[in-house]
Chains A and B, each alone.
Chain A
């Protein structure tokens, strides 16, 4: 057996840990990243290996820190909106929504009916494209370089085209405003959304035919990277990572923020908490998103998308604090704002799902093969822009 001396109180504790071996085998320290093709950005995992098995794993992040929260305290409430696009750059519209929801709660603004529907439509489209590409990246890390990812991107491209024609930008949408949306969605764009949604079941069937029963995928994913429900709850996980272990907690059901109370949809739950469950939950969530989209696109009423009386510029909320949260594709995305009555927030805090889902990486990886570390990391579905902020 090998033992690891990593005692903080021992002399010279700030040096790289001293690894002692009794001669049976030696630990190998590998720094995976910060520039590693599977790390989705700049992220380092200091892995200690005993042969192929992971003995210790230390995630190191902060390479992409951009001072997001401090910038948010220095600029007006409106000016933080485009910065939220840059948190999780795959799902800028849900980030916009979470921030708009927090400020609306703080100021006490009502959102018009049509704007609520547009928000739901855009958020569910975002969820679909995020999950599709997350699965694509996961499979790519398994070694299927390209094919599933390109299938996912083919569908994502259609959604991106809709986002571009509506918001003016493919990824940095900057679309939601306090008390509504920036521009109205036209009938042409709604029909575009309808035709995308009509093609989605086909796409998911194709995706599943390609992957779900693939023997290699089953062999690599089942029983690997297991999360126990107790650990998931204690670590504060959210989103597909929490639900894969069987905990029924979806903010769309729990909080019914916006108008989610009106739609019929189910929350898929996992049973084993392994990578395959996380893959399957994402597939099933896409199918449920289609159901929500069909209902929303059918029911969307006419009317204004923003209250003309609400000024987004120069708002000065009364002193107070608020926490606004939504079910972003990756988990619970929350914004915690404290106002002191000035045009800038006194405190601006982001609760990023990616970072908190990443905290149990070591628990999932211990005892697994080093090749599975890449896969487990991919199944967490993170974006480093949100982890480091």
Chain B
């Protein structure tokens, strides 16, 4: 019969049309600015720099004292669209493990060039740069607000925990292990140095004793 296929299709659309009044699962839209759907946990939008809270270093503000970035510039080199600009400091500051490290005096990311690919996060050996899930990044200033500087990029470790809880606690565990390992290493190094120091003066004494 001519028109059978069309009627069959119409029955299908009618079923869906009335079905949307019956089943609540079919109402998939939300009233966006007022209602929001939760963001996926490993969503990635734009990078930020993690700083550890509660670190003190002279006059420095908290975010600068706790900044994990050592300005090794690997992310700058690996960034596919080359949107990261880093300037290394002349002096050093202690990091979370107590080791003196360089820090970035300038760390700019051009938000208009960044393509949210997460390569910088993967290559960072210091777990310093991470992806934010904040996606409302529109700005009305073409010239000033598109270059995000280090102060704007710096966000606390607890903020990182709030957006990527699983990943952040895994990294915390890893960092705690590293800290223990480093402490053991420095302790062992200190002990061996002390032993060396204790052992070193002995031979001359013995030699001196023998000589006498």
Contact = CB atoms under 8 A, between A and B. Distances in A.
B131 A168 contact: yes
Interface string B44-59: 1000000000000000
B34 interface: no
B195 to A, nearest CB: 35
Contacts of A182: 122
A214 B13 contact: no
A169 B8 contact: no
Contact of A214 (B6, B78, B117, B131): B6
A345 to B, nearest CB: 14
Interface of A: 75-76, 78-83, 85, 147, 151, 157, 164-169, 172, 174, 182-183, 206, 209-218, 312-313
Contacts of B80: 75, 79-80, 82-83
A215 B119 contact: no
Interface in B159-175: none
A172 B8 CA distance: 38
A183 to B, nearest CB: 7
Contacts of A217: 5
Nearest to B79: A79
Contacts, number: 76
Contact of A213 (B5, B13, B44, B131): B5
B116 to A, nearest CB: 7
A77 B8 CA distance: 52
A168 to B, nearest CB: 4
Interface centre among A75, A76, A83, A206 (most CB of B within 10 A): A75
A174 B3 CA distance: 46
Contact of B5 (A151, A168, A214): A214
Interface of B: 2-6, 8-9, 11-13, 16, 28, 40-44, 74, 78-80, 115-119, 122-123, 131
A313 B78 contact: yes
A217 B5 CA distance: 9
A219 B172 CA distance: 64
A239 B8 CA distance: 31
A75 B6 CA distance: 54
A168 B43 contact: yes
Given A81-B119, A212-B5, A312-B122, 13 more contacts: A75-B80, A78-B123, A80-B80, A164-B43, A168-B40, A168-B42, A172-B117, A174-B117, A182-B122, A210-B8, A215-B3, A216-B6, A313-B78
Nearest to A167: B42
Interface centre among B4, B16, B117 (most CB of A within 10 A): B117
Nearest to B41: A165
29 contacts: A76-B78, A78-B119, A78-B123, A79-B78, A79-B79, A81-B119, A82-B117, A85-B117, A147-B13, A151-B16, A164-B40, A165-B40, A165-B41, A166-B42, A167-B42, A168-B44, A174-B117, A182-B122, A209-B9, A210-B9, A210-B12, A210-B13, A212-B5, A214-B8, A215-B2, A215-B4, A215-B5, A217-B5, A313-B74
